[in-house]
Chains A and B, each alone.
Chain A
Amino acid sequence: MRLRLRHDPHSLAGAYALDALGGPAEQDRFARHLSRCPSCEAEVRGFREVATAMAFAVTAEAPAALRPQVLAAAARTRQLPPEVSSHARPQRTRSTLPWIPWLSGAVALASIAVAVFFGLAQSHTQDELNQARAENQALNVVLSAPHVQVLSQVATSGGTAVVVLAAERHALAVVTTGLPALPSGKVYQLWLIGTKKTESAGLLPPAQDGQTPAVLATGVVKGDTLGLTVEPAPGSAQPTTKPIVALPLPV
C-alpha cells in the first residue's frame, strides 16, 4: 500500500519552518497555503520556536571585531519606515461607507474591517492581492488585539482622525474623514511624536469619498503623541508645519 502525501501541503510545515523546502517556488506555494490556514501558521510558529532553541543550543563566540563593525554600519543605515497601508498603490473605487465623526468604537472597528475587506475584494492582480493581504494581516494586528481603544480628534483644519490603538501591541490604525483636500504637491503625513524624537508614521493615502483608508503604524511607545501635518510631497523627514491633529496615545 502506498500513501500519497504529495498533495497535502500541510505536511510541509516542518520542512518550511526549518527552511528546508526545495526553492522559492515551493516556498511561495507553501506561504500562500499558510495565509489561508491559521492552524498551519500556529504550527509553523511553534516549530520556529523549536528552531530558535536549536540555534541557542549552538551558541558560539562571535569575533570581537564584529561588534564595532556592525554598530558602525547600523549608525549609517537607514531603517525601513513603519509599515503603512501603501500610499503608493493606485486607489480604486471603494464602496461608499457612511463615515461619520461620531462613530462608536464598535462601528469604527467594523468600518475599518469593511474597508480592509473591500481593499481585498477589489485587488485585481496577484501582486495587489498579495499586498492587500499583507496589509490586511498587518491591520489584523490591531483589529484582533484583545484590548483596543478608539480615540478621535477633530482636526484644526476641519475633519476628524479616528485611531484604533492596540497599546500592548505597540500598534495603531488611523482613518480620517472630512479633511480638506490638499493642493497638488502637498500631502498629509502622520507622526509619532515621542518624548525624545519624532518619527514619520507614513503618509495618508488619498481620500475616497472624503475618507482615507486605514493606515497602520507600529512601534508606538509610551509617551507618544500621534500627529498629523501638511507636508510638501513626497513627505518630510521631520514635521515642517504645525500639527492639525495632536492626539496623546495612552500606551
Chain B
Amino acid sequence: MNPSDSDASRLESATADRRGERDLDDLLVHVARGDSDAFEAVYDRLVGPVYGVIRRVLRDPSQSEEVTQEVLLEVWRTATRFDPAVGGAATWVMTIAHRRAIDRVRSITASAGREQRTAEVHTPHDEVAEAVEASLDRERVRRCLDGLTEVQRESITLAYYGGYTYRQVADRLKVTLGAIKTRIRDGLIRMRDCLGVS
C-alpha cells in the first residue's frame, strides 16, 4: 500500500490492508483444513496485534503471553468455524483475542478488586499518540479518535483498551448508563465512517 495515497487507502480498509486481508481469509480457510504452513503464516501476520491488544488490556506481560498463546491455539482449533461471508479473518481473530483478554480481566478483578488496575490505566489515547512507531494504523486510529467528542473517546478507549464494562465507564465518567451506551455507539459510528469501514 502506498502511504501517500491516503484517501484511497483510508477508504480501502479499517485494518491493515484489504488486499492483505483477502489473503488472510484464504489462509484461514486453509488452516481450517489442517494446513500448518498456513497457520504459521497466520501467526506471523497476526501475533503482533493479538499480543498488543491483550497486553493493552491486561498489562501484565506474563499473563498477556499466556492469553496470547490461548487465543492463537483457539484460532487453530476453531478455524473450521471461520466464515469469510460473515467478516474478515483479522476481525475474527481480534474478536477472539479481545474477548479472551476481557474474560481474563473480569476473572482477575473478580478476585482481586479493581483498585490496583484502575491506578494503572492511563488514557490509552495518549499512549497511542505517544507511540514511537507511527504506523499507518496507529496514525489513522489516532486521527479518528481525535475526531470524537471527549466523552465518546474516553468511553470507547476505556471500554476497549481498559477492559471496563459500560457500567464501570459510566461510573468513572459520571454519566448515566443510557448516555454512555449512546456515546459509545455514536462514537463507534463516527470511527467507522472515519476509518472507512464499509
Contact = CB atoms under 8 A, between A and B. Distances in A.
A21 B14 contact: no
- Interface size, A (range): 35 or more
A70 B83 contact: no
Nearest to A145: B85
Interface in A74-122: 74-75, 77-83
Contact of A74 (B39, B180, B197): B39
B78 interface: yes
A225 to B, nearest CB: 14
A43 B191 CA distance: 12
Nearest to A15: B166
B48 A53 contact: no
A11 B115 CA distance: 29
Interface in A208-250: 218-219, 221
Contact of B161 (A22, A58, A73, A197): A58
Contacts of A79: 32, 34, 76-80
Given A49-B192, A55-B98, A82 B80 contact: yes
User: Could you tell me the dominant secondary structure of chain B's interface residues?
Assistant: helix
Given A47-B188, A50-B14, A77-B77, A58 B49 contact: yes
Contacts of B141: 53-54, 56-57
Interface string B187-198: 110011001011
B32 A82 contact: yes
B105 to A, nearest CB: 10
A51 B166 contact: no
A186 to B, nearest CB: 25
Contact of B14 (A4, A53, A58, A74): A53
Interface string A14-52: 110111111000000000000000000000011111111
B150 interface: no
Interface string B163-198: 011110100000001101110111110011001011
A199 B79 CA distance: 14
Interface string A132-148: 00000010010011000
B65 A63 contact: yes
A80 B73 CA distance: 12
A61 interface: yes
Contact of B192 (A12, A47, A80): A47
Contacts of A6: 177-178
A144 B90 CA distance: 23
Given A169-B84, A169-B85, A5 B178 contact: yes
Contact of A71 (B36, B88, B138, B191): B36
23 contacts: A11-B178, A14-B184, A14-B185, A15-B165, A15-B180, A19-B102, A20-B169, A45-B86, A46-B197, A48-B91, A51-B91, A52-B88, A55-B97, A59-B135, A62-B51, A73-B73, A74-B39, A79-B77, A169-B83, A192-B33, A219-B80, A221-B29, A221-B30
Interface of B: 14-16, 29-30, 32-34, 36, 39-40, 43, 47-53, 55-56, 65, 68-69, 72-73, 76-81, 83-88, 90-91, 94-95, 97-99, 102, 124, 127-128, 131, 135, 137-138, 140-142, 156, 159-161, 164-167, 169, 177-178, 180-182, 184-188, 191-192, 195, 197-198
Q: Which 5 A-B pairs have the closest CB atoms?
A: A14-B185, A5-B178, A14-B184, A60-B52, A62-B51
